[in-house]
């Protein structure tokens, strides 16, 4: 693994074939060969610089993959059609029938549903644990365990995984540590802390314009080759390939990620402090009251801040809905799932993005009905936003 700084996209240099400052978009699904032998060699993976078929590899996707690998400090990366199109092949590549996964219990609802409902059909079992308790993680490892799975900052509860601690466990028991870093791009560099594989849903902060889904797996050349293997590679065979037009547009958006993350973090820390001072039950890794605030500080790349995600608990789903509808009405953001947009997005995860998690388990992990998850936008005047939000809260009797 290379350990590069979190943002070095400015050091990458790809030109279009006519000297364009952006790489040309490879707008072809298949590629021609002058000789049949080169085609055969390419299929066997022995002809560098040649392309065969775009589900194998395509220049536009490789450019984006290289930029993401540079950001995460891994040897290479493989982009995919969605975040789930990155997560599911990784887990299926690493595990087969009879294998076991230890996963954080607070993860994105889709990933949870995959591990809880889908992989058992293939003979893969998962134990869900409180990831902040390394003792519980260790106690859940059996001789069948192959993978430790977590999110750096979890969706939606914003629990922080001790990646270095988990990595030490993974090494001790010869497991792969897979970390979904979707909530904290640039702020946290999981590979630097010992993660073997780092995943992102590019749909969120990295693309940042809520116009596409996308995903990436960052890891060693060996693992990425395994995923792409034409005979038994899960990415290759499950086929969640990114389209080259999308790869090209995500690469362009990625160039401003560092600026956007700083602004998301700046706005989120401002609001989190204000909400907490107003007496709202507020969760944000940048608050001293967050149980993993100190841990996050030891893990973070300070200049990007504590990220753009925060939650408040307003007691009931009815109050949450009332507040969100009013804030949308006042143009303070959108009542929408997803994250990383220029506008603030808010939703009640219990009834939306985490609805795959059964109610009793939601209660056990502290996911209450009145929880509102905010992805704080890029507002230029966050003080004005705060004042307007506060007046909405007063109007619906939350403050
Ligand atoms: N990981 C996290 C943390 C997410 O929040 C999401 C989506 O909300 C995903 C993965 C899945 O990504 P996608 O919707 O791009 O498939």
Give yes or no for residue 151 CB within 6 A of ligand 1.
Answer: yes
Average pLDDT over residues 306-335: 98
Instruction: Identify the burial level of 97 via C-beta atoms within 10 angstroms of its C-beta, where 0-12 means exposed, 13-18 middle and 19 or more buried.
Output: exposed
Q: How much distance in Å is there from the Cα of 166 to the middle of ligand 1? A: 22
Lowest mean pLDDT segment, chosen from 16-20, 28-32, 289-293: 16-20
Residue nearest to atom 11 of ligand 1 (CA): 83
Q: How much distance in Å is there from the Cα of 42 to the middle of ligand 1? A: 33
Residue nearest to atom 4 of ligand 1 (CA): 108
Average pLDDT over residues 159-180: 98
Q: What is the DSSP string of 230-272?
A: TTT-HHHHH--PPPHHHHHHHHHHHTTHHHHHHHHHHHHHHHH
Give yes or no for residue 340 CB within 6 A of ligand 1.
Answer: no
Alpha helix stretches (DSSP H) within 50-200: 59-72, 84-94, 109-113, 134-140, 163-172
Give yes or no for residue 84 CB within 6 A of ligand 1.
Answer: yes
233 within 8 A of 212, measured Cβ to Cβ: no
**pLDDT above 80 (res 294):** yes
Average pLDDT over residues 356-376: 92
Range among 7-21, 30-44, 152-166 rated most confident = 152-166
Average pLDDT over residues 317-324: 97
Give yes or no for residue 206 CB within 6 A of ligand 1.
Answer: no
Residue showing tokens 């789930």: 84
Lowest mean pLDDT segment, chosen from 6-20, 63-77, 134-148, 255-269: 6-20
What is the structure's pLDDT at 4?
57
What is the structure's pLDDT at 243?
97
Pocket test for ligand 1, best of 85, 110, 202 (most atoms within 8 A of CB): 110
Crossing angle for the helix pair 382-395 and 317-329, to the nearest 10 degrees: 130
Q: How much distance in Å is there from the Cα of 39 to the middle of ligand 1? A: 36
Lowest mean pLDDT segment, chosen from 37-41, 71-75, 96-100: 37-41
179 within 8 A of 163, measured Cβ to Cβ: yes
Please give the angle made by the CA atoms of 164, 170 and 176, to the nearest 5 degrees.
110
Q: For residue 356, what is the DSSP state?
A: T
What is the structure's pLDDT at 17?
86
What is the structure's pLDDT at 5?
63
105 within 8 A of 124, measured Cβ to Cβ: no
Q: How much distance in Å is there from the Cα of 201 to the middle of ligand 1? A: 5
What is the structure's pLDDT at 2?
47
Residue 337 Cα: closest atom of ligand 1: 8
Q: What is the mean pLDDT of the chain?
A: 95
Give yes or no for residue 215 CB within 6 A of ligand 1.
Answer: yes
Average pLDDT over residues 28-48: 88
In degrees to the nearest 10, what's the CA dihedral of 362, 368, 370, 372?
A: -70
Give yes or no for residue 82 CB within 6 A of ligand 1.
Answer: yes
Closest Cα partner for 197 from 172, 173, 166? 166
pLDDT in tens, 243-277: 999 999 999 999 999 999 999 999 999 999 999 99
Pocket test for ligand 1, best of 68, 90, 108 (most atoms within 8 A of CB): 108
Crossing angle for the helix pair 84-94 and 221-228, to the nearest 10 degrees: 100
Q: How much distance in Å is there from the Cα of 41 to the middle of ligand 1? A: 36
Domains and CATH numbers, the chain: 5-254 (3.40.640.10), 257-395 (3.90.1150.10)
Residue showing tokens 């594989």: 197
* Rg, the chain, Cα only: 21
Joined together, the tokens standing for residue 251 give: 């690469």
Residue showing tokens 């997005």: 345
Pocket test for ligand 1, best of 80, 115, 201 (most atoms within 8 A of CB): 201
Instruction: Identify the burial level of 13 via C-beta atoms within 10 angstroms of its C-beta, where 0-12 means exposed, 13-18 middle and 19 or more buried.
Output: exposed
What is the structure's pLDDT at 1?
45
Q: How much distance in Å is there from the Cα of 214 to the middle of ligand 1? A: 9
Q: How much distance in Å is there from the Cα of 347 to the middle of ligand 1? A: 15
Cα–Cα distance measured from residue 306 to residue 300, given in angstroms and rounded to the nearest whole number: 8
Residue nearest to atom 14 of ligand 1 (CA): 83
217 within 8 A of 86, measured Cβ to Cβ: yes
Please give the angle made by the CA atoms of 3, 151 and 266, to the nearest 5 degrees.
75
Q: How much distance in Å is there from the Cα of 83 to the middle of ligand 1? A: 5
Q: Beta strands 309-313 and 281-283: pairing type?
A: antiparallel
């Amino acid at each position: 693994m290379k350990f590069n700084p979190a943002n070095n996209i400015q050091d990458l240099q790809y030109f279009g074939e006519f000297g364009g400052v952006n790489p040309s978009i490879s707008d072809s699904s298949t590629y021609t060969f002058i000789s049949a032998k080169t085609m055969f060699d390419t299929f066997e993976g022995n002809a560098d610089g040649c392309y065969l078929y775009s589900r194998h590899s395509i220049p536009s996707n490789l450019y984006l993959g290289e930029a993401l690998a540079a950001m995460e400090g891994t040897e290479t990366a493989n982009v995919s059609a969605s975040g789930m199109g990155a997560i599911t092949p990784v887990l299926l590549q690493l595990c087969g029938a009879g294998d076991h996964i230890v996963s954080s219990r607070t993860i994105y609802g889709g990933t949870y549903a995959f591990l809880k409902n889908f992989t058992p059909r293939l003979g893969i079992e998962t134990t869900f644990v409180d990831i902040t308790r390394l003792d519980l993680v260790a106690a859940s490892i059996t001789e069948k365990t192959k993978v430790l799975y977590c999110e750096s900052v979890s969706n939606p509860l914003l629990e922080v995984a001790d990646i270095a601690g988990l990595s030490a466990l993974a090494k001790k028991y010869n497991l792969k540590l897979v970390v979904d870093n979707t909530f904290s791009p640039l702020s946290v560099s999981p590979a630097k802390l010992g993660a073997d594989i780092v995943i992102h849903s590019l749909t969120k902060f990295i693309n940042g314009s809520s116009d596409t889904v996308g995903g990436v797996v960052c890891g060693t050349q060996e693992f990425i080759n395994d995923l792409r293997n034409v005979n038994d590679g899960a990415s290759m065979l499950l086929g969640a390939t990114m389209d080259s037009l999308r790869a090209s547009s995500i690469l362009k958006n990625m160039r401003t990620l560092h600026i956007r993350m700083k602004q998301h973090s700046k706005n989120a820390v401002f609001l989190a402090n204000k909400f907490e001072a107003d007496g709202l039950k507020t969760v944000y890794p940048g608050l001293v009251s967050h149980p993993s605030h100190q841990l996050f500080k030891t893990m973070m790349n300070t200049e990007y801040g504590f990220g753009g995600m925060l939650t408040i608990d307003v007691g009931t789903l009815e109050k949450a809905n009332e507040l969100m509808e009013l804030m949308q009405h006042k143009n303070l953001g959108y009542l929408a799932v997803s994250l990383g947009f220029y506008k603030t997005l808010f939703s009640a995860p219990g009834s939306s993005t985490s609805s795959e998690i059964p109610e009793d388990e939601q209660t056990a992990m502290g996911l209450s009905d009145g929880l509102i998850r905010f992805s704080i936008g890029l507002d230029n005047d966050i003080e004005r936003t705060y004042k307007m939000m506060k007046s909405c809260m007063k109007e619906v009797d939350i403050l």
